[in-house]
Amino acid sequence: ESVETDLPTTIEGPLSPWRNSKSKERIIKMLKSPTSDIHLHLPATYGPNNWQDVNFGLLQRLYADGRYTSGNFRENVKRILIHFRNSTGPFEPAEDAVEKWYTSPNNVSKAYALLFALMMKDESMRSLNSMSDIEIWRSHDEFQKYEFDKFKVYITNMKKLTRRRKEVIAEEQSAYDSDVRIVELSEDSGRGYPKWNTHPASDLLHEDETSGRAKEMKPQVLWMSRGEYQDFPLTVFRKHVYQERMAQLAAPCWQHKRNQNAKKMYEESLELIKEWHGGQFARDMDEIVGIWETINFVS
């Protein structure tokens, strides 16, 4: 019965040194594959002082260049099999790739999220301002996953980003406050009836929809049930009834969809911030204690 291998039927050219050979590469590749038939030709146990059940001759015939001397082939394959058994050398599990710093607004690394959150908070930003770049880099394991030279650039860019973000937030808040003051000065909508958002009817309709009262009657009957509702034309009131109903029906769905990724990132950021502050406090205390001991115990 023949066994299929990827060994060429004819081998031409000079014999390569084992360390750079196709035979070595082929055996390692097949050992890495859980579906390779090479595993059928290996005993359940083997290792130092326990090679008697390994058929090295068969392995060479099936997977390697037959021009290697049997003794050298045997010793070389022993080393490969020991690495395979111990998951070392070429069989060592690959380390996880470093998470990409930034891909998109919804796909950033934990280190990015942490640094952004720290710089957006006034308290932690004051701490960061008192630290050098290398101290910031050393302040958390997530930061140290990135090369320091690259991380220095990330710090500079993040300072610019968060500074602009804070400026935009301040401008938007100022504009909003100004608009609110203007709106609050006038109670009339300019159309002959009050402004809906500031009128008690708005809160009452929200309560009636939430309690189910509004669903038990037609909009006209509901309109007639409260004097506050009648401050608005029926056509206007009916529109607000449907708007409120749609808002309450849709809110749980779109809020969950919108917030699930942001919530996860926010919670992870909070945990990282707590961890960062805890570590920073410990480092500060170590430094303080060290200074105190130096002052008090120097002979």
Task: Write the pLDDT tens digit of every residue in 194-216.
Answer: 888 889 999 999 999 889 898 89
Structure tokens at 103: 């891909």
Structure tokens at 204: 């009452």
* C-alpha dihedral, 221 to 222 to 226 to 228, nearest 10°: -120
Residues 216 and 295 in one domain: yes
Which residues, in sequence order, are CB contacts of 237 under 8 Å at separation 6+? 201, 219, 223, 229
Do the beta carbons of residue 205 and residue 219 sit within 8 Å? no
Per-residue confidence band for 92, with pLDDT thresholds at 50, 70 and 90: confident
Residues 53 and 82 in one domain: yes
Residues 138 and 201 in one domain: no
Instruction: Kindly state whether residue 163 falls inside one of the protein's structural domains.
Output: yes
Do the beta carbons of residue 158 and residue 116 sit within 8 Å? yes
Cα–Cα distance between 251 and 248 in angstroms, integer? 5
What's the N-to-C CA distance of the chain in angstroms? Answer: 86
Tokens 């111990």 found at? 86
Q: Which amino acid is at 168?
A: V
Per-residue confidence band for 278, with pLDDT thresholds at 50, 70 and 90: low
Report pTM: 0.41
pLDDT value at residue 188: 53
Final residue belonging to a domain, choices 185, 205, 227: 185
Per-residue confidence band for 183, with pLDDT thresholds at 50, 70 and 90: low
Instruction: Kindly state whether residue 199 falls inside one of the protein's structural domains.
Output: yes
Residue 108: φ, ψ to 5°? -125, 160
Cα–Cα distance between 57 and 68 in angstroms, integer? 11
Residues 228 and 247 in one domain: yes
In tens, the pLDDT along 163-179 reads 998 898 888 888 877 76
Final residue belonging to a domain, choices 91, 120, 139: 91
Instruction: Kindly state whether residue 156 falls inside one of the protein's structural domains.
Output: yes
Final residue belonging to a domain, choices 163, 185, 207: 185
Residues 176 and 245 in one domain: no
Q: What is the 3-state secondary structure (H, E, C) of the chain?
A: CCCCCCCCCCCCCCCCCHHHCHHHHHHHHHHHCCCCHHHHHCCCCCECCECCCCCHHHHHHHHCCCCCCHHHHHHHHHHHHHHHHHCCHHHCCCCCCCCCCEEECCEECHHHHHHHHHHHCHHHHHHHHCCCHHHHHHCCCCHHHCCHHHHHHHHHHHHHHHHHHHHHHHHHHHHHHHHHHHHHHCCECCCCCECCCCCHHHHHHHHHHHHCCHHHCCHHHHHHHCCCHHHCCHHHHHHHHHHHHHHHHHHHHHHHHHHHHHHHHHHHHHHHHHHHHHHHHHHHHHHHHHHHHHHHHCC
Cα–Cα distance between 100 and 189 in angstroms, integer? 51
Residues 103 and 54 in one domain: no
246 versus 264: the higher-pLDDT residue is: 246
Residues 228 and 259 in one domain: yes
pLDDT value at residue 270: 65
Residues 178 and 250 in one domain: no
66 versus 299: the higher-pLDDT residue is: 66
Instruction: Kindly state whether residue 7 falls inside one of the protein's structural domains.
Output: no
Task: State yes or no: pLDDT of 1 exceeds 70.
Answer: no
Instruction: Kindly state whether residue 13 falls inside one of the protein's structural domains.
Output: no
Per-residue confidence band for 298, with pLDDT thresholds at 50, 70 and 90: very low
Which residues, in sequence order, are CB contacts of 217 under 8 Å at separation 6+? 225
Residues 202 and 267 in one domain: yes
pLDDT value at residue 250: 61
Tokens 């029906």 found at? 249
Please give the tally of structural domains in the chain: 3
Which residues constitute the domain of residue 135?
97-185
Instruction: Kindly state whether residue 247 falls inside one of the protein's structural domains.
Output: yes
Cα–Cα distance between 248 and 228 in angstroms, integer? 21
Residues 80 and 111 in one domain: no
Residues 104 and 164 in one domain: yes
Instruction: Kindly state whether residue 207 falls inside one of the protein's structural domains.
Output: yes
Task: State yes or no: pLDDT of 296 exceeds 50.
Answer: no
Residues 179 and 237 in one domain: no
Per-residue confidence band for 53, with pLDDT thresholds at 50, 70 and 90: very high
Instruction: Kindly state whether residue 237 falls inside one of the protein's structural domains.
Output: yes
